[in-house]
Amino acid sequence: MRNANISEVSLLLTFIKELAVEEGFPFDVVVTEESLKENLFGEQPIAEAIFFFVDGAPAGFAVYYHTFSTTTGKKGLHLDDLYVRPQFQGGGIGKKALGYLASLAKGRNCGRFEWWALKWNENAIGFYESIGARHMEELSIFRLEEGDIQNLAEYSPL
């Protein structure tokens, strides 16, 4: 397990596309190598990425970034994506990755470490609960896509 570097954005994009296929959203991926370079390795990176390897073979990745909680008054760590290739699943990579990220969150004095799971992904939900994560059933996630952001922004008084 190690931090990704700018020369590996092609591998990162491959993993992102594989995850999208596995989750049933292959046509939603519009990210490019250039946008990954800018947002993960540019002048003001907004996210970080790590890779997992098994016997030198690329086995998966995670992308994460910081948030802020008004409840805790501390930053948090949000795991945006965690993906382990199917042939490497069940070997403990996911648990090690989450352990690494929890250690990172602890070292960065985060008050929370959070992520989302698709409701139909019972294997992931069961795994997350088995490591002590709390399923936040009382929350719903809301999203505005780019065009919807534009529409809502028209109401801004600024």
Position 158 in a domain: no
Rounded to whole angstroms, the Cα distance separating 36 from 47 reads 9
Rounded to whole angstroms, the Cα distance separating 112 from 69 reads 8
pLDDT of amino acid 25: 93
Rounded to whole angstroms, the Cα distance separating 117 from 124 reads 7
pLDDT of amino acid 96: 96
Position 49 in a domain: yes
- pLDDT tens-place string over residues 38-54: 999 999 999 999 999 99
pLDDT in tens, the chain (158 residues): 999 999 999 999 999 999 999 999 999 999 999 999 999 999 999 999 999 999 999 999 999 999 999 999 999 999 999 999 999 999 999 999 999 999 999 999 999 999 999 999 999 999 999 999 999 999 999 999 999 999 999 999 88
In total, how many domains does the chain have? 1
Position 15 in a domain: yes
CATH of the domain at 105: 3.40.630.30
Position 119 in a domain: yes
Position 34 in a domain: yes
pLDDT of amino acid 158: 85
Biggest distance spanned by C-alpha atoms of the chain: 56
Position 8 in a domain: yes
| Residues forming the active site | 128
Q: Which residue has the tokens 């016997």?
A: 55
Position 106 in a domain: yes
Owning domain of residue 107: 2-153
Position 30 in a domain: yes
Q: Indicate the pTM of the whole model.
A: 0.92
Q: How many helices (H) and strands (E) does the chain have?
A: 5, 5
pLDDT of amino acid 71: 95
pLDDT of amino acid 66: 98
